[in-house]
Chain A
Amino acid sequence: MIELKNVTMKFGGVVAINNLSFKVSLGETFGLIGPNGAGKTTVFNIITGHYKPTNGKVFFKNEDITGKSPDYIVKLGIARTFQNIRLFGSMSVLENVLIGFHNHMDYSFFEALFRFPKFFKEEERFKKEALLILKILGLEKKANYKATSLSYGEQRKVEIARALATSPSLLLLDEPAAGMNPKESDELANILDIIKKEFDLTILLIEHDMKFVQKVCNRVLVLDYGKTIFEGKPSDMLKDEKVIKAYLGDFDVES
């Protein structure tokens, strides 16, 4: 599905990602774990085309997408959410989701300018689709609310809904459970399960909540200072010495 090959990303002298390679297969839920500053979000930004890696290649469905423009990559079927929620503040929940349909709405500028029948048909059709997505996420009653007036957990869901509207086959979630209480994060895990089946998704997610990771991920990769220190099943991760070292520090004090 998605493959990173020897990706290195340098910002000036700082090496954010160092020779990183991994592969996510179709239908997996893959977790990207690591302490703060390990380079996880940088990996996302490279996949989505916001950054061009210094070295290495990114493949999506066997197509080389290294350095392609973000809007092109979205069209190929990669959608993302942001770590710090970035909804469109002036718009309603529904409009936020409709932005995700931007490239699917099939009418031209002139058809919109002079209000051709096609304009009304397409708008109506995608409004229904948007409400359908909102319904799956349990937000259909909030469709006309201003997006930023919703609770934190709901805003995260709107971000996911918006990403789903671009009809992705790979969904990148940047700390979806951050700031959620245990009940909310349980609910989120269920929702991810539902949308994964409903929309045939492969999910790559960054998360710090280990309980959440154990619950939803098939496989995880642990990053530290831009390097892979562990790759495998989430249940084995917490037993791995290197992982413990990266998170808690080195306890091997001599004498």
Chain B
Amino acid sequence: MSAKKYFSLIALITVLYVAFLFLTNASLDFYTITVLSNIYIFVILAVSYNLINGVTGQFSLEPNGFVAIGAYVTALLILTPGEKLDAFTLAKPLDFIAAIHIGNPYLVLVISGVVSSLVALTLAFPVFRVRGDYLAIVTLGFGLIIRFILINNPQISNGSSGISGIDDFANYIMVGVVALITVILVYNIVYSKFGRAMKAVRDDEDAALAMGVNTMKIKTLAFVSSAFFEGMAGGLLASSIGSISPDQFSFMLTFQLLVIIVLGGLGSISGSIIATFLVMGGMEILRVLDDRNFEFLGLHGVPGLRMVVFSVLLIVIMIFARRGLLGDKEIWELKK
């Protein structure tokens, strides 16, 4: 794609999308707006998780750890020292934790991303010494460690009670715009020599080495980039929910993202986006099934029924689209 074509396309998409954001923001009710914001945050998560797991093919189970780091960094930075003294109920915060404060939400988000990616960078050296199943176990362990650190250090994180009263700077428009920026940046990574090298590592790591690709560097690059966006999404999540606790960032979060990217097709950006809407939106729509007043063919809703129906739907989709909805292709490549 030539530079001119690329930039006009990006400009067109941005204009249409921002118009869509303002239109929906003005016309939709509060509940739908909240659900949509949550979906946009998960689009960021899915697209960036797909970078390491789908595009680079490293079966890593780390996102909950990075999301947690991002969420806590944002919470600790955005709260003023006074607010922090109120928020910390289990222990007195450490002096420097209490003192740090940054008012600009955009700067806070970027710092959350940077902290996550710095952790990812240090983690990359031990993590990429192992491949396949072992990589999954090591990264799974990382998520658990982060969670236990948060639970057991109340002077930093207020332990299992978590932190509440976080400023809700992450409104619908802001979350939507950050999601768009993330998708564009991830696209730019995937469709460059770096993305090509990531795909090469996924397809055949030894052959990639033989082509002069420093595979360790490429895997680290994918891991660190995806940690950056996950950390930022964590910050948005903390702000839009308003309160965070270690239990929100359990393995279930990673599992949910894994379902999304596998359903969308590992390696497909557009697939990840579509699947996020299907999974997150579907879960909301199916919520009626949990309602006792719901009645269909004489059957009444039972709490938990939506998970059963949802799982059955997932199984059916995976039977008919075994490599995910889009495989490793993008939606605009499908007709080929």
Contact = CB atoms under 8 A, between A and B. Distances in A.
Contacts of B193: 98, 101-102, 105, 107, 112, 123
A120 B204 contact: no
A100 B211 contact: yes
B328 interface: yes
A98 B200 CA distance: 11
A109 B213 contact: no
A123 B2 CA distance: 9
Interface string A66-101: 000111001100011010001111110001001111
Given A89-B203, A119-B192, A99 B197 contact: yes
A124 B2 CA distance: 8
A143 to B, nearest CB: 13
A91 B197 CA distance: 11
B196 A120 contact: no
B3 A117 contact: yes
Interface string B246-277: 00000000000000000000010000000000
Contact of B188 (A101, A102, A113, A124): A113
A86 B210 CA distance: 10
A103 B207 contact: no
A115 interface: yes
Given A74-B211, A162-B211, A90 B199 contact: yes
B14 to A, nearest CB: 14
B227 interface: no
Contacts of B221: 109
Given A88-B203, A89-B203, A90-B199, A99 B6 contact: no
B208 interface: yes
A172 to B, nearest CB: 9
Looking at chain B's contact residues, the main secondary structure is helix
Contact of A99 (B7, B200, B202, B328): B200
A105 B208 CA distance: 16
A95 B204 contact: no
A86 B196 contact: no
A50 interface: yes
A126 B2 CA distance: 14
A88 B188 contact: no
A8 interface: no
B153 interface: no
A202 interface: no
Contact of B213 (A86, A102, A113, A117): A102
Interface in B181-210: 185, 188-189, 192-194, 196-197, 199-200, 202-204, 206-210
B203 A115 contact: no
B203 A91 contact: yes
Contacts of B208: 88, 99
A71 B215 CA distance: 9
Given A74-B212, A102-B212, A95 B206 contact: no
Contacts of B189: 109, 112-113
A112 B207 contact: no
B193 to A, nearest CB: 5
A48 interface: yes
Interface string A35-50: 0000000000000101
Given A90-B267, A90-B328, A71 B214 contact: yes
A91 B193 CA distance: 13
Contacts of A70: 209-210, 212
A87 B206 CA distance: 11
Interface in B207-242: 207-215, 221
Nearest to A49: B209
Contact of A166 (B7, B200, B212, B215): B212
Contact of A109 (B194, B203, B207, B214): B194
A120 to B, nearest CB: 4
A105 B7 CA distance: 21
A115 B212 contact: no
A152 to B, nearest CB: 17
A251 interface: no
A88 B209 CA distance: 12
A82 B207 CA distance: 8
Given A70-B210, A71-B213, A91-B203, 7 more contacts: A50-B206, A79-B210, A82-B210, A91-B199, A102-B193, A120-B2, A165-B211
23 contacts: A50-B209, A69-B214, A70-B209, A70-B210, A71-B214, A75-B212, A89-B203, A90-B203, A98-B196, A100-B211, A100-B212, A102-B193, A102-B196, A102-B211, A105-B193, A107-B193, A109-B189, A112-B192, A113-B189, A115-B7, A123-B192, A123-B193, A166-B212
